[in-house]
Structure 1
Amino acid sequence: MTAATAPTLSDLRRSLAEAALRAGPVAGGRIGLGVPSLDAVLNGGLARAALHEIHAAEAADLAAATGFALGLALRAGQKGEERGKKEEEARRPILWVRQDFLDAETGRLHAPGLSELGLDPARLLLVRARDGEGVLRAGAEAARCPALGAVLIEPWGEPRPFDLTASRRLALAAEGSGVPVLLLRVAAREAPSAARTRWQVRALASRALEANAPGAPAFSLKLLRQRGGAAEREWRVEWDRDRRSFAERSLFDRSDRQAPRTEHAAPLSRPLVPLSGDGQVAADGHDTGLRRAG
């Protein structure tokens, strides 16, 4: 769909129905993050058929929170690949519902940056909505579609319609479809919700490689809440694009063990998901591969 066709919620429903006919239900179980100590606290990983909240610690940490959310979405497809399924079955699309205001506030999504993280932009279905209510409605529709690999919902701030009841709708939709729903929050306070887990993400400085080349994206993760499990735990991790897995930072950098947890690290030397400040999807103006679904 394109902006010229004035896509509506019914268009999204029709697209999702067509996708569901081409794919069977997703696998259940849990999504392992690849960090043994973290997966152990999560009883084997994130629950797949559930709602999870990811909060950017500050507005400047939105790129880090986005990178973590996309890493989880990519990990959600690992189970099918490990079982040797056909490539098309393991590469289910990721649907991202984003509020238009974010483009002006933080910049548009940049397809080369998504590729650097390990996501093929052709696998991404991007839905734009004018306000928080539209984001939540489109996200709830998408969460019911078992053909998707993951649903990422990104409103700005604290949308008035988002309350405990709205979060329960998202959680029930995820449980019914088996698709993980990742709610990316920025400029929002913590509030009661039906999310299975709630995370706070800060950016860490990446470790320079040879010739001072940018290192792997790095994150400071804090598990704020886990329904029925331990919480208030922290990890420092890096994202391995080739393995599509997280790894504990302390395994690579002993100095991290001595870093105070309350310190806000410097920004990444390479953005997790580069966002263009000039309002262009790609700097060279060429086709980025992003597919717009609304």
Structure 2
Amino acid sequence: MKIHLLFFFGLILSTLIVTTACDSVSTTNPKTPEELKAALINKNWELRSVEENGYGVYAPESDSMYTLNFSAGGGVGGRILCNSCGGNYSISPPNRLFISGYFCTEIACQSPRHPLDFSEAVINQSNPFYFDDNRLFITVGKEGQSTREFRFAPKHATKEVIMARQEDFDRSEWPDGMYQLDEANIAGDSLYIKITYSGCGPHDLNLVFNNYFMESLPVQAYAIITHKNEACRAVFRSEETFDLTPLKKEYRKGYGNGEGTIDISIRQNGETETKLRYEFD
């Protein structure tokens, strides 16, 4: 009797293990449509930047200007400026996202200084997409031609620094509010700052590298902090954290893997500079 009972419970246990393995999906390295969907849904994705051929060309003035959120039932919502939007989505192999029937309310929003053709680029077409470190990347454009990558992150996720294209960097194409950098330090791959700025309300900030790597020992990289320019005189203080990993990856393209050291200079309003040393393995 004991032998039969042991066999019976062993059979149930093995069945549960197989069923659980089949029902589970990977959200760390999603590949199948089921895994991709599991990584996509139930998050409020905020557009953080746009890259063109591998380099940053755009960052929204506010993290909430362009958002997407996907449901398990195939619905997609979001915002474009002050308008709420909704539609449907589907996922097809290999790793293609199709957003269709997307419509928005028609409120006359205040036009940003730096608008983006978000709906024309992302909506009503099938685009390759993937995930990396819990971030969503949607690629727009045909192979062999100029491509743009729309880079999203969940709300409240730590921001990555933006590596802008150096050759034709135009400061006027980026938000240019004034600021005072009160404190800055680096720990590991994270850069922490305390900053004071003026405006009509709290601002979302980005750290943009626009000149790198100046040959010296160690090499140098120059960055600016971007946030929207408003006429209001209210003063705000903020503490921000930025992930320096994109800077490290760009360094390794030219100098190889292994240990590295970069002297970082953060320019304030085109005048003074704050200098930091970034060392990594």
TM-score bin, normalised by smaller chain: under 0.3
Q: Which has the larger radius of gyration?
A: 2
* Higher RCO structure, 1 or 2 (CA under 8 Å, sep 6+): 1
- Normalised by the size of structure 1, how large is the TM-score? 0.25
Higher fraction of helix: 1
- Of Structure 1 and Structure 2, the greater strand share is in 2
